[in-house]
Amino acid sequence: MVETRLIDGKAFAEGLRKRVASDVTAFHAATGVTPGLAVVLVGEDPASAVYVRNKGKQTVEAGMASIEHKLPATTTQAELLALIAALNAEKDVHGILVQLPLPGHIDAQAVLATIDPAKDVDGFHVVNAGRLAVGLDALVPCTPLGCVMLLKDRLGSLSGLEAVVVGRSNIVGKPLAQLLLREDCTVTIAHSRTRDLPEVCRRADILIGAVGRPEMIRGAWIKPGATVIDVGINRVDKPGGGTRLVGDVAFDEAQGIAGAITPVPGGVGPMTIACLLQNTLTAARRQLGA
């Protein structure tokens, strides 16, 4: 029986936000410039509205300018692209982010492709994805960046470790695999069609759940002592009524098997916005050649 440690992403994110805030103060003193982040929300998805509100609040708390554009669900793709073109040209806007998911009538890839790669603080533009893949400086997607920060904080060097990423999304699975490769991990990307997924997972020193299926990864799939990072945020019904959040990993079953695990909530989630603030400052620095 292994003692399972909790990886406190909420506390780590709080520390990171403080470090970013102090770097923003120094940046402003050196350049006279306040980094600005523009966040675009299309439609009324309640979870997205909460994330956008938190992004605005934490941006201001870090000493940066927050510019919010809330558009109705009926917004056309052409209108959205025109707004992004205007933000690309706006010199006080150093970072641009379009909250996902977008309404079904809008092609998300076309939207992401319109954002200036230098202002793409989500790191979703193909230029940033390509730069990450070939090992050049890139703006890196926030959730994967947060996962690697938590892993390095817990394990130090990740070199030579066997990492299994369950999930192959462009937003989390693929960029996270690239970041782990950059840390010299041996990386497997697995997914719902992977043959004998439990056996593949049991190879992992680092196991990442990023598949978006509530508690799909069972305790018996975890190698004893492994570090487990749970990216899933799934809302499920509670037996007596109401709902609760669970991850992609069966958290209770992981106790006594995993060496460490991120909880849901309070694990990876808070790192996403903290890393967004860091990316916004990075983008501002690069745009000013600072």
Ligand X SMILES: Nc1nc2c(c(=O)[nH]1)N[C@@H](CN(C=O)c1ccc(C(=O)N[C@@H](CCC(=O)O)C(=O)O)cc1)CN2
Interacting residues with ligand X (CB under 6 A): 51, 97-100, 122, 142-143, 233, 245, 264-266, 269-270, 272-273
- Rounded to the nearest whole angstrom, what is the least distance from the CB of residue 101 to ligand X in the complex? 7
Judged by beta carbon, residue 217 or residue 264, the one nearer ligand X is 264
Report, in Å, the least distance between residue 100 CB and ligand X: 4
Q: Which of 122, 205, 230, 248 is catalytic?
A: 122
Distances (CA, A) of 86 to 81, 114, 179, 200, 243: 9, 11, 32, 47, 40
Q: Is 36 annotated as a binding residue?
A: no
Residue 78 C-beta: closest distance to ligand X, Å = 20
Confirm whether 92 is a catalytic residue. no
Give the separation between CA 220 and CA 239, rounded to whole angstroms. 24
In the chain, the amino acid numbered 129 is: A
Which contacts qualify for 89-92: CB closer than 8 Å, 24 or more apart? 90/38, 92/34, 92/36, 92/65
Q: Is 203 annotated as a binding residue?
A: no
How many other β-carbons are positioned within 10 Å of the β-carbon of residue 6?
13
The answer to the question of whether 168 is labelled as a binding residue is yes
Active-site residue 77, yes or no?
Answer: no
| In contact, 227 and 155? CB cutoff 8 Å | yes
**Which residue in the shown chain puts its C-beta closest to ligand X?**
269
Give the residue with the Cβ less far from ligand X, 161 or 278: 278
Give the Å distances, CA to CA, from 3 to 209, 215, 229: 20, 21, 16
Closest approach of ligand X to the CB of residue 153, in Å: 17
Is 169 assigned to a binding site? yes
Catalytic residue, from 99, 174, 205, 223: name it: 99
* Residues assigned a catalytic role: 55, 99, 122
